């Protein structure tokens, strides 16, 4: 770890030098300052850590002193310094864990009704409201990109954005299959039904991050239609984009202008293509070193919402909450905090293994 810290400190000093050299280039200085700010906390902690290690070495040398009073002082100081060094080491390891570059990005959430017919569509609507409430708790903004209603208050599909710093870092753990067990309003016999809804959380991708060649897309324009088939717009404003190489189809019709629908459809398409590339990259990683928490596999059953028992269970971490109304009102942090903690612990263990290999 000390070697990694030395490299980071050298880069930090280099950035300071480069900023002085480029004082006349505002854009370049801003870029350098951003990188330096990302290293600032690590460098400050590393300097404190190295100072504590130096003081610890000095205390060890004094513990063999013939002066009993000096020896006792050295032993007491060693206890304090050892505790401090271990605390700093843990903080540094946490900071050295490679962060997902998408963590600070806005997200696109896709909710789709799975098995269960109308009941699955109704639960898709419930999950949408749950995420909207969660976003409100964090002062994030939500905006619907595309929706396909069932006509009875549910959704076959709902696609929306969540804009706010750190949105992806928190909600990325929601990707997967959500299962609900409850008595549908239409069930006269009182029998409990099980339905599923799939959630995909995608980091929003800018055009500069992923360029899609125009020749790879087939764009169709059609007339918007609402639930039941009634026309929402007399003009053809809805957009359907087909990505030829992958066969991915994205449709947007909720906006009143063709241009707005096209921009939104392109945003969704870029996010899906970027996620495909990320899944390929993750698949190439050593399976023994991959964190299975929040892997984002869409076929993975991640959570069950049991209404008769007032229970929500996250199967990845085997934690249950018996406050189902609170969870459905956006109180998800009990699950997300634990998922994030376990994810970080797994990545920290990877850093530890790498240090041992060195």
Question: pLDDT by residue (tens digit) across 31-63?
Answer: 888 888 888 888 999 999 999 998 888 888 887
State yes or no: pLDDT of 233 exceeds 60: no
Please state, in angstroms and rounded to a whole number, the distance separating the CA atoms of residues 293 and 314: 11
DSSP run (H or E) holding 49: helix 26-62
Whose tokens are 């990877």? That residue is 350
Please state, in angstroms and rounded to a whole number, the distance separating the CA atoms of residues 118 and 65: 80
Please state, in angstroms and rounded to a whole number, the distance separating the CA atoms of residues 143 and 174: 18
State yes or no: pLDDT of 156 exceeds 50: yes
pTM: 0.68
State yes or no: pLDDT of 295 exceeds 50: no
Mean pLDDT within 225-240: 62
Residue 53 φ/ψ, nearest 5 degrees: -65, -40
> Hey, is 148 helix, strand or coil?
strand
Q: What is the pLDDT of residue 230?
A: 44
Residues 6 or more apart in contact with residue 349 via CB below 8 angstroms: none
Please state, in angstroms and rounded to a whole number, the distance separating the CA atoms of residues 187 and 210: 47
Q: What is the pLDDT of residue 331?
A: 96
State the number of CA atoms in the 13 A half-sphere of 191 facing the CB.
Answer: 7
Q: Which stretch, 22-31, 219-228, 229-238, 301-310, has highest mean pLDDT? A: 301-310
Enumerate long-range contacts of 326-332, CB under 8 Å, 24 or more apart. Answer: 327/130, 328/126, 328/129, 328/130, 329/130, 329/133, 330/130, 330/131, 330/132, 330/133, 330/134, 330/135, 330/136, 330/137, 331/134, 331/137, 332/130, 332/134, 332/174
Band of pLDDT at residue 282, cut at 50, 70 and 90:
low
Residue 234 φ/ψ, nearest 5 degrees: -75, -30
Band of pLDDT at residue 226, cut at 50, 70 and 90:
low
Mean pLDDT within 313-326: 96
State yes or no: pLDDT of 97 exceeds 90: no
């Amino acid at each position: 770890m000390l070697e990694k810290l030395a490299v980071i400190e050298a880069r930090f000093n280099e950035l300071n030098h480069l900023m002085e050299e480029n004082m006349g280039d505002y854009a370049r200085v801003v870029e350098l300052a951003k990188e330096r700010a990302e290293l600032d906390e690590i460098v400050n902690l590393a300097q404190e850590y190295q100072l504590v290690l130096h003081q610890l070495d000095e205390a060890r040398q004094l513990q063999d002193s013939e002066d009993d009073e000096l020896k006792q002082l050295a032993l007491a100081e060693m206890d304090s310094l050892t505790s401090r060094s271990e605390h700093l080491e843990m903080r540094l390891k946490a900071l050295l864990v490679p962060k997902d570059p998408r963590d600070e990005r806005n997200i696109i959430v896709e909710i789709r009704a799975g098995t269960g017919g109308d009941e699955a569509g109704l639960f898709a609507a419930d999950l949408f409201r749950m995420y909207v409430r969660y976003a409100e708790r964090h002062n994030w903004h939500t905006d619907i990109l595309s929706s396909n209603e069932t006509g009875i208050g549910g959704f076959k599909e709902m696609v929306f954005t969540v804009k706010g710093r750190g949105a992806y870092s928190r909600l990325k753990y929601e990707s997967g299959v959500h299962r609900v067990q409850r008595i549908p309003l239409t069930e006269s016999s009182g029998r409990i039904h099980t339905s599923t809804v799939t959630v995909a959380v995608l980091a929003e991708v800018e055009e500069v991050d992923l360029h899609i060649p125009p020749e790879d897309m087939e764009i169709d324009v059609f007339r918007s239609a609402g639930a039941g088939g009634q026309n929402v717009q007399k003009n053809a404003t809805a957009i359907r984009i087909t990505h030829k190489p992958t066969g991915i189809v994205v449709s947007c019709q909720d906006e009143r202008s063709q241009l707005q629908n096209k921009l939104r459809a392109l945003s969704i398409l870029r996010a899906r293509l970027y996620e495909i590339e990320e899944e390929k990259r993750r698949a190439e990683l050593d399976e023994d070193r991959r964190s299975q928490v929040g892997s984002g596999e869409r076929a993975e059953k991640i959570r069950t919402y049991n209404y008769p028992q007032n229970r929500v269970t996250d199967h990845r971490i085997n934690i249950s909450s018996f406050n189902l109304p609170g969870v459905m009102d956006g109180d998800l942090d009990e699950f997300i905090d634990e998922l994030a903690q376990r994810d970080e612990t797994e990545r920290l263990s990877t850093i530890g293994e790498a240090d041992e290999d060195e």
